[in-house]
Each structure stands twice: as C-alpha cells, then as structure tokens.
Structure 1
Amino acid sequence: MINDDASEVSLIDRARAGDARAFEELLRPHRDKLWAVCVRVTGHPADAEDAVQECMVAIWRGLPRFRGESQFSTWIYRIAANAALGIVRRRREVPVEEIFDLPPNPGFEDAIALHDEIQAALRKVPEDFRVALVLREYGGLTYEEIAEHQGIPIQTVKSRLNRARSAVRAALTVE
C-alpha cells in the first residue's frame, strides 16, 4: 500500500525501469476506482473489463511520459475514461436497440436493481456529460481536472455536470 507521495514517486520510478511488482503495487489502491470509472462510462461489465485492461496497458506504456504535473491518480483516471470511451465508440456499430436495451423497471427493490437503473440512466446521458459526471462522482476529479481532460472551461464543466445530474434524475423517475 502506498503510504505517501515519496513512496508513490519511488514506485513510479521503479515501474518506469520495468519493475512489474512496483507497477502492481502502484495501481493496487486505484483498481476499484479504475473499474468504477470504466463501468460507469461503458455501462457494461464486460466492456469495463476490456477498458480496464486497455487502461493498464496504456498506463504501463505511458509511464515514461508521465511528467508529474498532475497527481498520478488524476492521470490514470483520465486514461481509464479514455479507454472506456474507446470501447463505447467501437461498440456503436452494435444496433442502438442493443446498446440501450433497458431492463424493465424493477422498482428499486434491492441494490442490484438500483445499480441497473443507474446504469440505464447513465446510458441515456450524452457522452460528454456522462464522462464529466463519471470523472467527478466516481473518479473524484476536480472541476479543473475535468476541464483540462475535456478541453473545456470550468463553467462548461459545471453546466455539463448539472445537465448530466438532471438527465439521470429524470431517467430514474420515468417509468
């Protein structure tokens, strides 16, 4: 487990030198959030698994280019979001009915049903809005980090988040 910034920097340096164990230790505290970002963007566990794998490879390959200008976690969540978006874009060749195959409203009877409803609601949100929401709520990125990632002003991030939350709320209340 990473205890401080110095040990994280040490793990990054060792991973850059090809130490696979250091790389594994470096990513261990982030695995759950990487998964959460990928599953929320893709909306499908199998696609999220593919995205996480692509993300890990991209992090490994990109580690020599990580300059430390942002936090390591910010950098890897950005990579995860991009990997998940790549999966979604490739999946668009699937008929729209399959992508938005929404389960019947289960009435929120248990946590799994709630999860399914949220996933379905997220799939209805426009991609740029969904990514901003996922990066904020599941990735823990700041408005500034999201703005940098999406190449937009901070005020636009706030607007996208507001619209995304409203769209999810509306989708969850529709029967």
Structure 2
Amino acid sequence: MCTLIDESESGTDLLERARAGDQQAFTALVEQHRDRLWAICLRITGNQHDAEDALQDALVAAWRAIGGFRGDAQVSTWLYRIGSNAALARIRKRSDADDIDDHDPMSSVDVAQQVVVSDRIQEALAQVPDAYRATFVLRVYGELSYSEIAEAQGIGLQTVRSRISRARSILAELLADLR
C-alpha cells in the first residue's frame, strides 16, 4: 500500500494509519521525534555506535508494538521510553572491552576547551548508574517533565526526583574540578 503523507495531516491521523500497518505514516510520525530520540540514545549509551544501534533497535521495537499502542501516553513519551530502554539494553550488552577508556584519544593538544569539557561530562555521565543516568538524560537532554519521565519509565514521581537528585550529586562530585 503506497499512500502519500499530507503535510497537514495530524499526529492522530498518522498514528491511526501507523497502527493499521501503514509504514509511511509510521515513518512520518517517528521523524517528528527522531532527533530527540537520537539525543536520548546517545546520552544514555555514551557513544555514537551504541546510540545508532539503540536507535535502530528502538525504531524496530516501536514498529512492532505500534499496533498495541493504546494512547495512554503521548506518542513522544512512548517512543522515548522505548528509546531509553533500548539504550539501557545496549549498555547491558556492552562487553568489558568497550569501556569508556577505549574511546579514541584526543588528536590534538589544541582542542577547544568546550570539547574537553564536553568529553569530561560524557565520561562522568558514563559513571552514573544506568537507572539514574537514564532518568537524568530524559530530564536534561530529552526535556521531559518529571511526570512524563515517571510515565515513560513506569516509576513513581518521587523515584524520578530521587534519581535525578542522585545523578546530579554524583556528577557534581565527579566534575568538581571543572568549577
């Protein structure tokens, strides 16, 4: 079935078509959230290769599950949950040989300070326990509200607050020398 996507078509229409098996509608629906989904996968996994794999896993999982999407949450929240779960699964699969120490060394002594700080933040974020990191990333990089995170992760609001607070404390300790 080859149907065209009307640019004025609402997310609800796209969702209904995707749930009925229309792959073009699913693609159009996902494209609205792809950049943020990518950012979430990247921040949780800590490297581009794993993020690409996690994003692909998330999109396949979303396509397989779209027919069962009940609409209890927003499509974005549902996709971010699938993405964060795929990224966490990718971390669990990562072998010890793929630790943060295996990242390519910096090629130049004259690398901009911003890149150095960004790398340090990424390294510190990789040291935050998975559950805290995923929650923190959804808040900071995914820009989700606490209630959206709770819904996306299937946890309580107080747990969200606690995880974010603990992640911030860990990061503050790990990055104290940058102040």
TM-score by length of 1: 0.85
Q: 1:58-108: per-residue Cα shift (whole Å, max 9, x none)? A: 1111101111111110000000000001100000x324xx4131768x898
Asked if the contact 2:18–2:67 (Cα under 8 Å) also holds between the matched residues in 1, the reply is no
Q: Which residue of 2 aligns with 1:66?
A: 69
Task: State the number of aligned residues.
Answer: 170
Question: Alignment partner for residue 84 of structure 2, among 81, 86, 93?
Answer: 81
Runs (4 or more) in structure 1 with deviation over 6 Å come to 1-4
Counterpart Cα distance in 2 of 1:2 and 1:127? 40
Asked if the contact 1:15–1:23 (Cα under 8 Å) also holds between the matched residues in 2, the reply is yes
Counterpart Cα distance in 2 of 1:18 and 1:112? 43
Asked if the contact 2:135–2:149 (Cα under 8 Å) also holds between the matched residues in 1, the reply is yes
Q: CA deviation at 1:132?
A: 0.8
Q: Which residue of 1 aligns with 2:140?
A: 137
Q: After superposition, where does 1:5-84 map in structure 2 within 5 Å?
A: 7-84=10-87
Counterpart Cα distance in 1 of 2:29 and 2:84? 19
Counterpart Cα distance in 1 of 2:157 and 2:71? 22
Q: CA deviation at 1:156?
A: 2.2
> What secondary structure does 1:52 align onto?
helix
For 2:100, give the aligned amino acid.
Answer: F
For 2:15, give the aligned amino acid.
Answer: I
Q: CA deviation at 1:150?
A: 3.8
Question: Does the alignment pair 1:167 with 2:170?
Answer: yes
For 2:23, give the aligned amino acid.
Answer: A
Q: CA deviation at 1:13?
A: 1.4
Name the CA shift for 1:71/1:172 in 2 (closer, same or farther; >3 Å).
same
Q: CA deviation at 1:3?
A: 8.0
Q: Which residue of 2 aligns with 1:94?
A: 96
RMSD: 2.6
Q: CA deviation at 1:147?
A: 2.5
> What secondary structure does 1:68 align onto?
coil
Q: CA deviation at 1:16?
A: 2.1
Asked if the contact 1:52–1:83 (Cα under 8 Å) also holds between the matched residues in 2, the reply is yes
Name the CA shift for 1:108/1:130 in 2 (closer, same or farther; >3 Å).
farther
Q: 1:99-153: per-residue Cα shift (whole Å, max 9, x none)? A: 131768x898344333322211110111111011011112222222323344433
